[in-house]
Homo-oligomer: A and B are copies of this chain.
Amino acid sequence: AAVAQSPELSSQQQRTVDRLIDQGLEDDVGWELLESLTTEIGPRLGGSPDEARAREWGARKLKQLGFKNVRIETFEMPYWERVTETAEIVSPYPQELKITALGNSVATPEGGVAAEVVRFRTLLDLQDAPLEGYEGKIIFVDEVMSRTQDGSGYGWAVAKRSGAANEAAKRGAVAAIIRSAGTSHGRTPHTGNMRYSDDVSPVPIAALSNPDADLLGLAMKRADGPVTVSVDISVHTKTVVESGNVIGEIPGKSDEIILIGGHLDSWDLGTGAVDDGAGIAITTAAAKLIDDLPGKPNRTIRVIMWGSEEVGLLGAFAYAEAHADELDRHLLASESDFGAGKVWQFRTGFAEEHLPKAQVYQKALRRLGIGPGNNQAGGGPDVTPLRRAGVPVFRLYQDGSDYFDLHHTMEDTLDKVDPEALRQNIAAWAATVYVASELEGDYRASESE
């Protein structure tokens, strides 16, 4: 691709970037939002009355902060919630096992199921196993997840959530259990959404905490004969409930849109501090810093608190559909949804010809310890449908070394967030969004313009 001459910020704009970073590093708005959301609302499962309370909270906060065009864009969705979930080793060594049902799991029959456990080291081992010989068994996928800075261990780990249930169902097993798709050494099993294949008869699936998976493995190693486990899961579902995206704007001089945000829903086990109260707090506080500058930004900054991300990016798809006719005015989109660790890298998803512009961002962010990254950014989960529709994206990569100790567990609470790291995020987002607003030109391939 041809390389265009790199645009620059004016020296006044560069000074503004630096001032925004200084202010971000002393920001209190972000922490206040996060404390308020986790304390006053707490867990807010997609489609639940708690998520509805969170939407009211979000609209109220955006208005109080001075955002314009504040609105809730609703959509309909199916609903799933856990009711009870218990498990134990029945024999030969009776002991409780800490489990949590995966989102969308069917219930066990009333009173639970008890059966011999068959262990597979990995999902791949299970996929390679014969289809016969597992009828009536409980299938245990004991695959371990790796700790990584960039979260790259999570993709493999997630595969086992739907994979274990579907492979177990194909083989006539009565339930599937997996080692948590998380890195915590705590007895805090990790939930997350799963989907059944159309061609199987669904079997219930739950995750064991890492220590409980260790325990079950040791029991199987030490026992002379079969190890029997019981699993009891009950759930509650509804065909249609309401969810929604909360939207607020800082109107710009042009109708081009810079779309940022985090997702408002959380899993039900914790208070959704790192996933994704932090993303809400970071992006809202960053936009507020830009709103506080004299005059209007060049482009409109649209903050979205996405609804029902955890249960299938439902808010993201609803937005992409409802706003299909203005997606070509979306200059850039990005979501903060990887916790509250410090940003360490800036990645882009620009048309190749616009890569020189990335250097303007890199220069602005360098003092925050943020290095240049590749051009393979996805932009964040809720941006996926927009990226597929051609909207350019960026991502401020956060250090996720401890993210999967917390994420989707009851340990996702406010005390796990480092206020200094949160402020570094706010500074980085304020600088990035300001550059996006003021820097001339766009990020799409010219043939598509």
Contacts and interface: CB of A to CB of B under 8 A. Distances in A.
Interface of A: 35-36, 38-43, 92-96, 98, 185-188, 210-211, 214-215, 218-219, 222, 270-271, 410-411, 413-416
14 contacts: A35-B218, A39-B93, A39-B215, A39-B222, A40-B92, A40-B93, A41-B93, A42-B96, A42-B215, A186-B188, A187-B188, A187-B411, A187-B413, A215-B413
Nearest to A184: B186
Contacts of A415: 185, 210-211, 214
Nearest to A270: B187
A266 to B, nearest CB: 12
A92 B41 CA distance: 10
B39 A186 contact: no
A222 B411 contact: no
B187 A222 contact: no
Most buried by B among A39, A42, A211, A411: A39
Contacts of A36: 222
Given A214-B415, A218-B35, A218-B414, A95 B271 contact: yes
Given A93-B40, A95-B43, A186-B186, A214 B411 contact: no
A218 B186 CA distance: 25
Contacts of A98: 410
A82 to B, nearest CB: 13
A411 B188 CA distance: 9
A42 B36 CA distance: 40
A339 to B, nearest CB: 15
Given A186-B186, A188-B186, A188-B187, A215 B40 contact: no
A35 B214 CA distance: 11
Contact of A186 (B35, B92, B219, B411): B411
Given A35-B218, A188-B187, A218-B35, A42 B411 contact: no
Contact of A218 (B39, B43, B92, B416): B39
A341 to B, nearest CB: 16
Given A36-B222, A42-B215, 11 more contacts: A35-B218, A39-B93, A43-B95, A185-B415, A187-B270, A187-B411, A210-B415, A211-B414, A211-B415, A214-B415, A215-B271
Nearest to A98: B410
A95 to B, nearest CB: 4
A206 to B, nearest CB: 17
The 6 closest A-B pairs by CB, nearest first: A42-B95, A211-B413, A39-B218, A40-B93, A211-B415, A187-B410
Given A40-B93, A43-B95, A186-B186, A414 B215 contact: yes
Nearest to A185: B415
A211 B210 CA distance: 21
Contacts of A43: 95-96
A247 to B, nearest CB: 25
Nearest to A89: B42
A218 B415 CA distance: 11
Contacts of A271: 95, 215
A36 B223 CA distance: 10
A271 to B, nearest CB: 7
A266 B59 CA distance: 50
Nearest to A213: B415
Contacts of A188: 186-187
A187 B215 CA distance: 20
A75 B228 CA distance: 34
A356 B151 CA distance: 58
Most buried by B among A35, A188, A413, A414: A413
A413 B218 CA distance: 12
Contacts of A187: 188, 270, 410-411, 413
Contacts of A219: 39-40
A96 B96 CA distance: 22
A228 to B, nearest CB: 15
Contacts of A222: 35-36, 39-40
A53 to B, nearest CB: 9
